[in-house]
Amino acid sequence: MLTRKHSIEGKHPFGKAAELFNTLDADAAMKLAMVAGDVTLVLDDTGTILDAAFDPREFPSFAGFVGNNWIETVNDDSRPKIMEMLAAARRGEVQHWRQVNHPSRDGDVPIRYAVLSVNGGEHRIAFGRDLREAGKLQQRLLQVQQSLERDYLRMRQLEARYRMLFERSTEPVMIVEAGTLRIREGNPAAHTLVGARPGGLPGKKLLTFIDKHSHDAVQALVGAALVSDTVSPGRIRIARGQREVMASVNGFTQDRGQFLLVRLVPATDRPAGDFSPVLSLVDQMPDGFVVADGNLEIVTANAAFVEMLQAASVDQLRGRHLSESIGRPGIDLDLIEGQIDQHGAARNVTTILRVGHDIEGEPIELSAVRTAGEDGYYAFVIRPIGRRLRDLPPGSQDLPRSVEQLTELVGRMSLKDIVRESTDLIERLCIEAALSYTSDNRASAAEILGLSRQSLYSKLHRYGLGNLAGDGE
């Protein structure tokens, strides 16, 4: 659709600059006509092209236009537009931009023209602007729009299918805001479970439908779901009917907000067994206690160990490999397993306990045993010793071993000697660390250092470490 912006009608005319155009010479007028359009045609009164200005690289098919009538250079559907523009120019009417198509070997070339009469109406100048780039842009926009419409239709279909699954599921499911614990959605099974009228859950607080004695358990599940992808279900009690259910909570983010997917399934009663006071006492121990299967995956743990790892409950730890939390990867647990295989137990092994992504960890002392059989279980007693180490008085081994102290040797020793001293220092520190990790087991220390036993003994003698307590063999 053409509007006034596509013509000179209604536009504010030049003021003082109008006098400038009276001073234009022929060369300036020609350059002005050439820059006014991508294609500029000079026509006589009959529409014959007398001359043309264009870029031959962009318009190679326009080279033969001179001498031909303008109407013969366009497609059949564009000829009425040419006739209308020429007739309007003869009548002296205000010209509007009109799009015409020129045929070429590479397809139609769309040009938008405006015609201006000059020399008292004897000649016409047609200013043309190339619309191919605009056409390509419009085509891309159309393709994007069509793609968006297809994606929207596909999303609507997916939403319809998942909505049907959500509504018809026999498992109670709720969508809950993580920050406020306010229910966004609940399926019919969830309404039935908590005794709410149809459509009555959205907007209500989740804890409203949970027994007050289970509020802490719900908060623990929510906290665990916001920091972990795998959270074991927890047993809670529904306020209506005091019915126990297993609650599974998973966190997700949508529209820059955090939400929870809460699933509630009837709790199955655990088989009753003989009560043993030992189990109660183990759970109350101040030291951590862990039971792991043959693959070193956690089976159960007492409250102290759960607190050490800052977990919400023992259910969150079940199935987790001990190497994720205890020891340095590929070193400590392998050594502990080796000591258990050789001696039946590992006693007072110094290692670290890692919480989250903490690489350094907290120093601990660990003892472990293993039950008989191929499918035996491991039991670990873990005691934090960080405070004990911090309270120890500085010993004789607190020798200068920092980079700053090494740099103090500059000026007193050559660079070659300083490098040798640095190498010796690093080597000694590594040997001391290996002996500490292995509880002074020199055979194991040599293995993790990649040394032979004879080579390790030689270095121990060199650094004055030969009097360390016990060979550990």
The CA distance from 347 to 438, in Å, is 11
Q: What is the DSSP letter of 60?
A: G
The CA distance from 467 to 43, in Å, is 110
Asked whether 172 and 193 are in contact (CB, 8 A), the reply is yes
Strands 345-353 and 362-370, sheet pairing:
antiparallel
Residue 70 buriedness (CB in 10 A; 0-12 / 13-18 / 19+): buried
> CA-based angle 238:240:241, to the nearest 5?
95
pLDDT category at 176 given cuts 50, 70, 90 is: very high
Asked if the domains at 277-391 and 403-462 fall in one CATH topology, the answer is: no
Task: Extract the tokens encoding 87.
Answer: 């007739």
Q: Which of 196-210, 309-323, 385-399 has the lowest mean pLDDT?
A: 385-399
241 has pLDDT over 70: yes
Which pLDDT does position 273 carry in this prediction? 45
- Residues 8-21 have a mean pLDDT of 64
271 has pLDDT over 70: no
Instruction: Give the amino acid at 186.
Output: G
Q: What is the pTM of this model?
A: 0.36
Neighbours of 60 (CB within 10 A): 13
Per-domain boundaries in the chain: 4-14+21-130, 169-266, 277-391, 403-462
Task: Extract the tokens encoding 137.
Answer: 């842009």
- CATH fold group of domain 169-266: Beta-Lactamase (3.30.450)
- pLDDT tens string 82-114: 898 888 888 877 677 888 999 888 888 899 898
Q: List CB contacts of 174: < 8 A, sequence separation 6 or more.
A: 183, 184, 185, 186, 187, 190, 201, 206, 261, 262, 264
Task: Extract the tokens encoding 424.
Answer: 């010796």
The CA distance from 218 to 359, in Å, is 31
- CATH fold group of domain 277-391: Beta-Lactamase (3.30.450)
- Percent of the chain's residues with pLDDT above 90: 12
- Who wins on pLDDT, 238 or 401? 238
Average pLDDT over all residues of the chain:
81
Arch. (CATH architecture) of 4-14+21-130:
2-Layer Sandwich (3.30)
Instruction: Give the amino acid at 89.
Output: A
Task: Extract the tokens encoding 93.
Answer: 């009417």
- CATH fold group of domain 403-462: Arc Repressor Mutant, subunit A (1.10.10)
- pLDDT tens string 61-75: 888 888 899 999 999
Which value, to the nearest 10 degrees, does the dihedral of the CA atoms of residues 338, 340, 344, 346 take? 120
Instruction: Give the amino acid at 469.
Output: A
pLDDT category at 389 given cuts 50, 70, 90 is: low
Task: Extract the tokens encoding 34.
Answer: 């050439």
